[in-house]
């Protein structure tokens, strides 16, 4: 992803900084020590977060043959018993679709597989911005699928079931990472400062983050530099972009995972990435994807409520809303990499 946390300042005592891979991405958990003797140590709390995220992945990955999500997607019944975790994910997907009028659609599993994304791309290197943009063609805003299959999905917590027309399957996509970051962060209430990053979908919290905010740097995928950063004292931040999960199909054509629901094909809107701020990582993820799929004319309005950054295909950066964005002087490393 295009968002990463900077190294913590020397005067901030970080209790633990845990890094591991799950959800097909890099996971990072930062927790400051607490004076509350009833709370577990930061190290123990970070391990609890790790166990939760790994359980989330085992249960809800579409790339695992033994996951509950895979079993649900292949179940021929219209109404299927579902765990609380799966029901929460599906409800989040429906909310995202309704929130974006169908642009962030959780029912595009068949379409994303036809586009070439059948197996996990964990560890796979995406295409460069130049490769993604080498193919000429019109740029236009994406739009919702006429079928709006998500409208036919029902979640019944009392019965512990999910109902949908046979053949409708769920691909959680980035919604799953935002949801995982929020749920994992919920395990850390009471610690003075904490951050959970699930593949760049970041949630921060704690009573002392307002006075000592986390610095979250934003990469320009065209230049490869990271000249912008946010000081984040609460809530979430996420980036949606076309470079990280991109590939060439058998015919040599470039493709990526951000589909236009109306066509089922990779979108080309004139934007290469969008970063969004929001009260939660889930909402930030949804806003970032909605902005990118909507294209340059609408993206600024979509991100304006909480703030964010748009990166156009030519590398131009546009700041949306009253963002808590900061600029830094490029380092020698930046100059050499640029």
In whole angstroms, what is the distance from residue 110 CA to residue 327 CA? 41
Cβ-Cβ contacts under 8 Å for 228 (sequence gap 6 or more): 217, 218, 220, 309, 317, 325, 326, 327, 328
Instruction: Classify each residue of 294-306 as buried b or exposed e, where b means 16 or more C-beta atoms within 10 Å of its C-beta.
Output: bbbeebbebbeeb
Is the residue at 24 inside a domain?
yes
Is the residue at 48 inside a domain?
yes
Does residue 116 or residue 322 have the better pLDDT?
116
In whole angstroms, what is the distance from residue 197 CA to residue 72 CA? 27
Is the residue at 210 inside a domain?
yes
What is the overall mean pLDDT for the chain?
87
Percent of the chain whose predicted confidence (pLDDT) is above 70:
90
Tally of domains within the chain:
1
pLDDT surpassing 50 at residue 6: no
In the block, tokens 């972009």 appear at: 241
Is the residue at 81 inside a domain?
no
DSSP output for 225-237? ---EEEEESSEEE
Query: Containing H/E element for 317?
Result: strand 317-320
In whole angstroms, what is the distance from residue 197 CA to residue 4 CA? 8
- In tens, the pLDDT along 60-110 reads 999 999 999 999 999 999 999 999 999 999 999 999 999 999 999 999 998
Is the residue at 51 inside a domain?
yes
Query: Containing H/E element for 86?
Result: helix 84-99
Q: Write the CATH number for 180.
A: 3.10.520.10
- Give 27: exposed, middle or buried? Use CB within 10 Å, 0-12, 13-18, 19+: buried
- In tens, the pLDDT along 100-132 reads 999 999 999 988 888 787 777 776 777 787 777
Is the residue at 96 inside a domain?
yes
pLDDT surpassing 60 at residue 324: no
Domain extent at residue 211:
3-76+91-147+169-337
Rg over alpha carbons for the chain, rounded to the nearest Å, is 20
Is the residue at 83 inside a domain?
no
Sign of CA dihedral 152, 156, 159, 162: positive
Q: Which range has the worst mean pLDDT, 26-30, 85-89, 254-258?
A: 254-258
Is the residue at 273 inside a domain?
yes
**HSE-up of residue 18 (Cα within 13 Å, Cβ side):** 23
């Amino acid at each position: 992803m295009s968002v990463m946390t900077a190294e913590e300042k020397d005067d901030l005592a970080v209790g633990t900084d845990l890094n591991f891979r799950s959800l097909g991405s890099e996971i990072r958990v930062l927790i400051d020590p607490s004076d509350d003797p009833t709370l577990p140590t930061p190290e123990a709390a970070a391990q609890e977060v790790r166990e939760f995220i790994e359980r989330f992945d085992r249960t809800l990955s579409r790339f695992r043959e033994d996951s509950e999500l895979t079993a649900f997607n292949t179940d021929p019944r219209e109404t299927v018993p579902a765990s609380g975790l799966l029901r929460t994910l599906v409800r989040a997907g429906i909310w995202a679709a309704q929130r974006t009028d169908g642009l962030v659609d959780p029912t595009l599993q068949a379409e994303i597989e036809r586009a070439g994304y059948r197996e996990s791309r964990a560890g796979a290197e995406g295409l460069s911005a130049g490769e993604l943009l080498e193919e000429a063609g019109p740029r236009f805003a994406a739009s919702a699928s006429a079928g709006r299959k998500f409208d036919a999905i029902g979640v019944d917590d009392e019965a512990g079931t999910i109902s949908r027309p046979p053949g409708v399957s769920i691909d959680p996509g980035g919604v799953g990472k935002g949801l995982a970051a929020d749920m994992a962060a919920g395990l850390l209430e009471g610690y003075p400062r904490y951050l959970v990053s699930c593949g760049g979908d970041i949630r921060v919290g704690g009573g002392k983050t307002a006075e000592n905010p986390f610095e979250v740097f934003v990469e320009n995928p065209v230049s490869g530099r990271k000249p912008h950063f946010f000081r984040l004292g609460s809530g979430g931040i996420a980036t949606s972009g076309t470079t990280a999960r991109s590939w060439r199909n058998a015919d040599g054509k470039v493709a990526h995972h951000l589909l236009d629901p109306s066509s089922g094909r990779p979108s080309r809107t004139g934007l290469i990435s969008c970063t969004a701020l929001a009260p939660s990582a889930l909402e930030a993820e949804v806003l970032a994807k909605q902005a990118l799929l909507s294209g340059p004319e609408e993206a600024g309005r979509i991100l304006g409520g909480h703030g964010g950054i748009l990166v156009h295909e030519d590398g131009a950066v546009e700041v949306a809303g009253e963002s808590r964005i900061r600029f830094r002087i490029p380092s020698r490393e930046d100059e050499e990499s640029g």
